[in-house]
Amino acid sequence: MVKRFETIALIGKYQSPDVAEDVLHIAAFLRERGHVVLIEQGTASSIGVAGGFPVASYDGIGASADLALVLGGDGTMLNTARRLAEHGVPLVGVNQGRVGFLTDISRDQAIPRLSEMLDGRYSEENRVMLSAEILRGGERVYQTLAFNDVVVNKGELGRMIEFDVSIDDDFVYTQRSDGMVVTTPTGSTAYALSANGPILHPSIGAIALVPLCPHALTARPVTLPDTCRIDIKLLSPHDARVHFDGQTRFDARAGDCVRITRSPYAIRLLHPENYSYFAMLREKLNWSAVPRLP
């Protein structure tokens, strides 16, 4: 039996009026099919018009939507995922960004691919998230979620920082470096990839630690079970900046502990029929390309 998505929300690229035409075009298409359509309020504000469709906050979408269509790039999907994580709303991405690891429907194929998916021709997968908190003197001073990664780095300092890393209270090492990327399988093709981290298949229950320019030739990425608790404690006199999906941040002080665990929330991603993770990697990373001759 085909699952019926009665109410569908549209979420566009943040503060981008460029998505207006596509948002309204897809909204009209959905209404013709008999779906209730919601426009996320920030998207409605950015495009300057909601076309007569109801406007809803993220909380409103989480409470009433059966599906959310995200029009933008990976950044838009990351933000949406964090905002809707606790609600369990499945997400579909229409790529209007540059790379699009998470938004796998091309803009020019949006209507035919969405038609197929709404008719039940799609695959679904769950992607893990990270829960991160900053502890200061043993007290929590900040907490948030990350879909891609948590990055501890030197911020605007022109020198390396120093920190202790422990896994489940088991001391691993003291590291001097520009910082550390703690990544989910989803985030393994983002910042961590640039730092020579491993690509982790989304179905793997793993978290990777990827050092940023470590001051040691033997410091290498480490892949851990996602049941681990990771503690990164800043050593005096080093302050640091902690980034979450590259979109939110917290300025940590010497002595603070960044604690990272797998979140109890998971992101439900829907893909078009015949979606292939390896085909996506082959396209986005330009694998198997024939070298150009001079």
**pLDDT (tens digit, 9 = 90+) per residue, 78-128?**
999 999 999 999 999 999 877 789 998 999 999 999 999 999 999 999 999
Average pLDDT over residues 153-177: 94
pLDDT of 162 > 60? The answer is: yes
Q: Would you say 40 and 12 are in contact if contact means Cβ atoms under 8 Å apart?
A: yes
Asked whether the whole model's pTM tops 0.75, one would answer: yes
Residues marked as catalytic = 74
Smallest CA-to-CA distance from 272 within 7, 1, 69 is with 69
Tell me how far apart the alpha carbons of residues 44 and 41 are, in angstroms, rounded to a whole number: 5
* Helix/strand/coil for 46: helix
Q: Judging by beta carbons within 10 Å of its beta carbon (0-12, 13-18, 19+), is residue 217 exposed, middle or buried? A: exposed
pLDDT of residue 272: 95
Tell me how far apart the alpha carbons of residues 96 and 18 are, in angstroms, rounded to a whole number: 9
* Helix/strand/coil for 95: strand
* pLDDT bucket at 45, cuts 50 / 70 / 90: confident
Q: Judging by beta carbons within 10 Å of its beta carbon (0-12, 13-18, 19+), is residue 37 exposed, middle or buried? A: buried
* Domain annotation for the chain: domains and CATH numbers: 7-120 (3.40.50.10330), 129-264 (2.60.200.30)
If you count DSSP H runs as helices and E runs as strands, how many of each does the chain have, helices first? 7, 18
Q: Judging by beta carbons within 10 Å of its beta carbon (0-12, 13-18, 19+), is residue 229 exposed, middle or buried? A: middle
pLDDT of residue 1: 38
234 DSSP β-pair partners: 163
The amino acid at 119: D
* pLDDT bucket at 50, cuts 50 / 70 / 90: low
Q: Would you say 135 and 274 are in contact if contact means Cβ atoms under 8 Å apart?
A: no
| Element spanning 84, H or E | helix 74-84
Average pLDDT over residues 257-277: 96
Smallest CA-to-CA distance from 63 within 32, 45, 88, 41 is with 88
Distance from the Cα of residue 33 to its chain's centroid? 30
| Element spanning 139, H or E | strand 139-146
Provide the token pair at 291: 């070298």
Tell me how far apart the alpha carbons of residues 28 and 110 are, in angstroms, rounded to a whole number: 13
Average pLDDT over residues 146-161: 92
